[in-house]
Amino acid sequence: MTKRALITGVTGQDGAYLAELLLSEGYEVHGIKRRASLFNTDRIDHLYQDPHEANPRFILHYGDLTDSTNLIRIVQQVQPDEIYNLGAQSHVAVSFESPEYTANSDALGTLRLLEAIRILGLEDKTRFYQASTSELYGKVQAVPQNETTPFYPRSPYAVSKLYAYWAVVNYREAYGLYACNGILFNHESPLRGETFVTRKITRALARIKLGLQDCLYLGNLNALRDWGHARDYVKAQWLMLQQAAPEDYVIATGKQYSVRQFTEAACRELGIDIRWEGAGESEKGYDAKSGACLVAVDPRYFRPTEVETLLGDPSKAREQLGWEPEVSFDALVAEMVREDLMSAERDELCRRQGFQTFDYHE
């Protein structure tokens, strides 16, 4: 029997990689996308199948995590063997601007899906994956962080994800649901949203290299993160739902770098020698050859409460799931830089030919 999966957040970074993985594993994949005034399926367009063709294996449904009516209807229609709840307002800084919406989609959205499983009597059929996060550790209470480290969330995003985390544990214990939390540390890729720090850096430096942009403005250069590749991490999501019993797992590389080090690694890939001067809010990064300023700190990007350091211990996932990250930090940076350089080259060519290109950066 073909397995059927339902992915919320299928248009996001992880949704795209997971859909690809599940299709390659022979699944019929259903995804929930939001209605937008423009097409918003860039990341999954290569997977698109014409719904008029016979037996499509990749099917999209309009829906929103803030609307339980559509969630119940879609779950009823799809009767999924596995639900991957990846949909979320996932930007930590934005969650300070839109805390109520973040709670509605990230916390209550998760509850709505768990209830949909129950209301439809699918407790024995449908397995549930929740996209939990290292942001739960926030102001960290132990180093490195594992499945037993206490949580201390530091943003409306993290507080919302804390609610979702415990809702999953509670539904597992109360109703016997096969439901898992994947506590994933930061994972990146060329598909990463442009306003997360890694992609912001690789995209801006590629554009600076080609003369399309002057300066990259960043916030806290000292923040430390455990960065992996999204393709490796969606494999762990899938593995969690293939076990005999549902459990929660930390997924991380066990290595840590600062935002400054990520910037330096991207510069190395681009053949730029960066020299730092100043400290704190007045720190700047200069091109050692030309003397041009490449990077400047802008306090606008500081957060009201910051997560200064995260470092995961993935021992449990290694031992029980047989999971290992395959892509190193340097290979991740190289891939992101390569892809952003290609798209900057396209923009530069258009500009040379007299076409105006979009120059938005945040």
246: cis peptide before it, omega within 30°? no
- From the number of C-beta atoms within 10 Å of its C-beta (0-12, 13-18, 19+), residue 316 rates as middle
Question: Minimal distance in Å, beta carbon 147 to ligand NDP?
Answer: 15
Active site residue 157: yes
Binding mask 56-75 for ligand NDP (x = CB under 6 A): --------xxx---------
Q: Is residue 140 within the footprint of ligand GDR (CB under 6 A)? A: no
Write down the least CB distance from residue 179 to ligand GDR, Å. Answer: 19
Compare residues 75 and 311 and give the one whose CB is closer to ligand GDR: 311
- Number of chain positions touching ligand NDP (CB under 6 A): 26
Least Å from the CB of residue 11 to ligand GDR: 15
Q: Select from 55, 83, 81, 59 the least CA-distant residue to 71.
A: 83
SS3 for the chain, per residue?
CCCEEEEECCCCHHHHHHHHHHHHCCCEEEEEECCCCCCCCHHHHHHCCCCCCCCCCEEEEECCCCCHHHHHHHHHHHCCCEEEECCCCCCHHHHHHCHHHHHHHHHHHHHHHHHHHHHCCCCCCCEEEEEEEHHHCCCCCCCCECCCCCCCCCCHHHHHHHHHHHHHHHHHHHHCCCEEEEEECCEECCCCCCCCHHHHHHHHHHHHHCCCCCCEEECCCCCEECCEEHHHHHHHHHHHCCCCCCCCEEECCCCCEEHHHHHHHHHHHCCCCEEEECCHHHCEEEECCCCCEEEEECHHHCCCCCCCECCECCHHHHHHHCCCCCCCHHHHHHHHHHHHHHHHHHHHHHHHCCCCCCCCCC
The count of chain residues that interact with ligand GDR, using the rule CB under 6 A, is 22
Residue 361 near ligand GDR by CB under 6 A: no
Options 135, 264, 269, 335, the catalytic residue: 135
In the complex, minimum distance from the CB of residue 273 to ligand GDR, in angstroms, rounded to a whole number: 22
89 binds ligand NDP (CB under 6 A): yes
Query: Is-catalytic flag, 149?
Result: no
Which of ligand GDR, ligand NDP, none lies near 9, with the C-beta cut-off 5 to 8 A by kind? ligand NDP
Can you tell me which of 67, 247, 306, 339 binds ligand GDR, judged by CB under 6 A?
Answer: 306
Does residue 170 interact with ligand NDP by CB under 6 A?
no
Tell me if 182 contacts ligand GDR by CB under 6 A: no
301 binds ligand GDR per the rule CB under 6 A:
yes
End-to-end CA distance of the chain: 47
User: According to CB under 6 A, which one of 19, 60, 75, 88 is a site residue for ligand NDP?
Assistant: 88
Partner from ligand NDP, ligand GDR, none contacting 205, C-beta within 5 to 8 A by type: none
Question: Does the protein bind ligand GDR through residue 5 (CB under 6 A)?
Answer: no
* Binding of ligand GDR by 160 (CB under 6 A): no
The entry of ligand GDR, ligand NDP, none that residue 14 binds, CB within 5 to 8 Å by partner kind? ligand NDP
φ, ψ dihedrals at 230, nearest 5°: -60, -35
27 a catalytic residue: no
Cβ closer to ligand NDP: 178 or 233? 233
Using the rule CB under 6 A, is 105 a contact of ligand NDP?
Answer: yes
Of 170 and 195, CB closest to ligand GDR: 195
Give residues in contact with ligand NDP (CB under 6 A): 8-9, 11-15, 32, 34, 36, 40, 64-66, 86-90, 105, 131, 133, 184, 186-187, 193
Just list the catalytic residues. Answer: 133, 135, 157
